[in-house]
Amino acid sequence: MTATPTLPRRKLPIGIQSFAKLREQDCYYVDKTPHALQLIEKGGAYFLSRPRRFGKSLFLDTLKELFEGNQKLFTGLAAETRWDWSINYPVIRISFGDGVLRNRAELDQSIRELLRVNRQRLGLQLPAGLAETYLPGNLADLIAQAHQQSGQRAVVLIDEYDKPILDNIDNSAVATDMREGLKNLYSVLKGSDEHLKFVFMTGVSKFSKVSLFSGLNNLNDITIDKRYSDICGYTDKDVDTVFAPELPGLDRELIRQWYNGYNWLGTPVYNPFGLLLLFDTRKFAPHWFETGTPTFLIKLLAQRQQFTPDLSRIVASESLLSTFDVDNIPVEALMFQAGYLTIASQRQILGRLELKLKYPNLEVQAALNDSLLQSLSGAQNVPGPYISQLYDLLMARNFSGLKSLFHAFYASIANDWYRKNEMSGFEGYYVSIFYSYFAALGLDIRLEDPTNFGRIDMTVLFDGQVFLFEFKVVELNPAGAALQQIKDMHYFDKYRSRGEPIHLIGVEFSKASRNIVGFEVETLLI
């Protein structure tokens, strides 16, 4: 019997944003040059929003090397035979990805240095009489000079255009000042159109056209465009072909459940950073999430008393998702643009695109709800042990233990926390905690699960079992009403065909005691 040959493994490009370095070190590479060529052939100015660590900087660097004519880097790629290597274009590259700028003075100094470096690289001099501190004039002159000296229109690539704003988003005065400084710079691009071959701008967020983008109405936003859904990230096909040598020893379906699922109306993709760290560590973990805890997001969700079960079923218009401003931050837009939610489905209503959102994968669902639990409980060290206990109790079908677990958790929350937080006065708070525990485990959860007779509050499918939950507040309903509703409405009929045990669980909360006061369970053995 002939043994199956082992595919050669390459270097994992973890954290590599240089296209030249990636190619010269023989790293794995998913060819994104077809997208680059398509955009360049169409021409114009483009904007792309993608979450952090999603490959935006690498794609921008790929464009740089292409326009500068570094042919040897593209051997074996689509661009090798489709690009005119006889023409080199002057490239101006501006990136705010490094470091944190805390005020307008630091921003202006950073821009001056970026423009100086570009001038030096292109062999251009700042004209006498043009003040280095006059940033719009400095950039406009740089673009015009680059065109005149080379005989080719300039290419402008701007990476992480919004980072100076987002780094200060919790201080609206500083964030506004940063926005105005960047607006002052970017407004030059429209007026320099005659000198420009191509413009590409990336960031995490899309700020309102009436603020940062008021002078850039010529930008073509390709963020939500099915043709470019996989312009960054890896597809299932990429994983099975390019990364085939890394798959042995890993559960392929689990890889898909944990890291795939980001979608911008086209082909779904994996977050590249999380997937590469999985291949490196061989461990399933929230690799991407852990690189940047969204403290501002968690704080915002708490301030707005967000009902956490709703996060996985938000419906919003395309316009709402594509913009926000310093003093107007819709939760939907922030979570979508930052990568904590993605598009599940779309619906066209009289010219208006309506989008349903969801968690992209188990990594985000589990890690985000873990962080939310810390916020909801008012302590970072409280939720962890309870989450692992929840798994053990579900595996053992220990329902009395399950009741005790949640009762103990609610009781562990300090009275002082309740006193300082208005959210604890809402019944949704108690259900949010209950839901987030299951979500933090990365379980298959269906909220407001539809049946012929109504909607099940929460369905959990786990370990060949079906768990149906109904929640009630005792001050508003008679005792036993939660379990009785499941039985009266025959919610379980929907899952009889699975041939699995079905557990009917009625959970009752009391506003007065701030805890669970009822936890009834019946099991149907099919």
* Element holding 355 (H helix, E strand): strand 352-358
Q: Are 376 and 412 in contact (CB under 8 A)?
A: no
Give the integer Cα–Cα distance in Å for 132 and 137: 9
Q: Which residue has the tokens 């220990």?
A: 398
Q: Distance (Å, rounded) from C-alpha 308 to C-alpha 91? A: 45
Mean pLDDT of 500-507: 95
Distance CA 379, CA 371 (A): 10
Supply 482's token pair: 């939660």
Q: Alpha-carbon distance 166 to 433, whole Å?
A: 29
Average pLDDT, stretch 265-280?
Answer: 97
Strand, coil or helix: 421: coil
Instruction: Tell me the C-alpha distance between 184 and 224, whole Å.
Output: 26
Whether residue 447 has pLDDT greater than 90:
no
Angle 223-208-92 from CA coordinates, rounded to 5°: 65
What is the torsion angle, in degrees rounded to the nearest 10, for the CA atoms of residue 485, residue 501, residue 313 and residue 50?
170
- pLDDT value at residue 209: 58
The number of CA neighbours under 13 Å toward the Cβ of 150 is 24
* Assigned domain for 475 exists: yes
63 in a structural domain: yes
Averaged pLDDT, 238-258: 97
The domain tally of the chain equals 2
9, part of any domain: no
**Is residue 425 predicted with pLDDT exceeding 60?**
no
Task: Return d(Cα 70, Cα 49) in angstroms, integer.
Answer: 27
pLDDT confidence of residue 372:
84
Specify the DSSP element, H or E, that contains 435: helix 427-440
Q: Say which residue, 109 or 385, is predicted with more confidence.
A: 109
170: Cβ contacts below 8 Å, ≥ 6 apart? 296, 299
Q: Percentage helix, strand, coil, to 5, in the chain? A: 45, 20, 35
User: What percent of the chain is modeled with pLDDT above 90?
Assistant: 63
Domain harbouring 151, CATH code: 3.40.50.300
The pTM of the whole model exceeds 0.85: yes
- List the single range of 19-33, 317-331, 386-400, 403-417 with lowest mean pLDDT: 403-417
Residue 77 inside a domain? The answer is yes
DSSP bridge pairs for 349: 352
Instruction: Report the percentage of the chain scoring pLDDT > 70.
Output: 92
Of the pLDDT bands very low, low, confident and very high (cuts 50, 70, 90), residue 355 is very high
> Is 211 a residue whose pLDDT tops 50?
yes
Query: In terms of pLDDT, which residue wins out, 140 or 429?
Result: 140
CA distance 345 to 124: 50
Is the pLDDT at 5 greater than 60, yes or no?
no
> What pLDDT does residue 418 have?
47
Predicted confidence (pLDDT) per residue in 312-352, tens digit? 888 888 888 877 788 888 888 889 999 999 999 999 888 78
Residues in the chain: 526
Strands (E), 113-265: 154-159, 196-203, 220-221
User: For 78-115, how does the pLDDT look when each residue is reduced to its tens digit (9 = 90+)?
Assistant: 999 999 999 999 999 999 998 899 999 999 999 999 99
Contact 177, 23 (CB under 8 A): no
**Residue 287 CB burial class (10 angstroms; 0-12, 13-18, ≥19):** buried
Which of 203, 228, 253 terminates a domain? The answer is 228
Residue 298 falls inside a structural domain = no
> Would you say residue 409 lies in a domain?
yes
CB-based burial label for 250 (10 Å; 0-12, 13-18, 19+)? middle
> Under the phi-then-psi rule, with left for phi > 0, alpha for psi from -120 to 50, and beta for the rest, what region is 324?
beta
**Four-point Cα dihedral 432, 435, 439, 444, nearest 10:** -140
Is 514 a member of any domain? Answer: yes
Using DSSP's 3-state secondary structure scheme, residue 356 falls into strand
Give the range of the structural domain holding residue 98, as residue numbers without chain letter: 31-228
- Provide mean pLDDT across the span 1-10: 63
Q: Could you tell me if 458 and 447 are in contact, meaning their C-beta atoms sit under 8 angstroms apart?
A: yes
- Longest alpha-carbon distance in the chain: 86
pLDDT at position 427, please? Answer: 60
Single out the residue in 169, 193, 228 at which a domain terminates: 228
| Residue that terminates a domain, selected from 188, 210, 228 | 228
Per-residue pLDDT at 500: 94
| 162 within 8 A of 107, measured Cβ to Cβ | no
What is the predicted pLDDT for the residue at 428?
72
pLDDT of residue 452: 86
User: Looking at residue 419, what is its pLDDT?
Assistant: 47
Residue 381 vs residue 303, higher pLDDT: 303
Encoded tokens for 352:
């208006």
Residue 125 above 90 pLDDT? yes
Q: pLDDT of 29-68, one tens digit each? A: 999 999 999 999 998 999 999 999 999 999 999 999 999 9
Torsion sign (Cα): 361, 170, 435, 312: negative
Burial 358-367 (b: 16+ CB within 10 A, else e): bbbbbbbbbb
89 contacts 153 by C-beta, under 8 angstroms: yes
Structure tokens at 203: 């960031």
pLDDT digits (tens, 9 = 90+) for 130-180: 999 999 999 999 999 999 999 999 999 999 999 999 899 889 999 999 999
Give me the pLDDT at residue 365, please: 92
Query: Is 247 among the domain residues?
Result: no
294-298, 411-415, 434-438: which has the highest mean pLDDT? Answer: 434-438
521, pLDDT greater than 70: yes
Evaluate the CA torsion angle 166, 170, 172, 178 in order and state its sign. negative
Domain with 505 in it: what CATH number?
3.40.1350
pLDDT score at 290: 85
**Residue 486 burial (CB count, 10 A):** 22
Q: Alpha-carbon dihedral of residues 38, 44, 49, 52, nearest 10 degrees?
A: 80
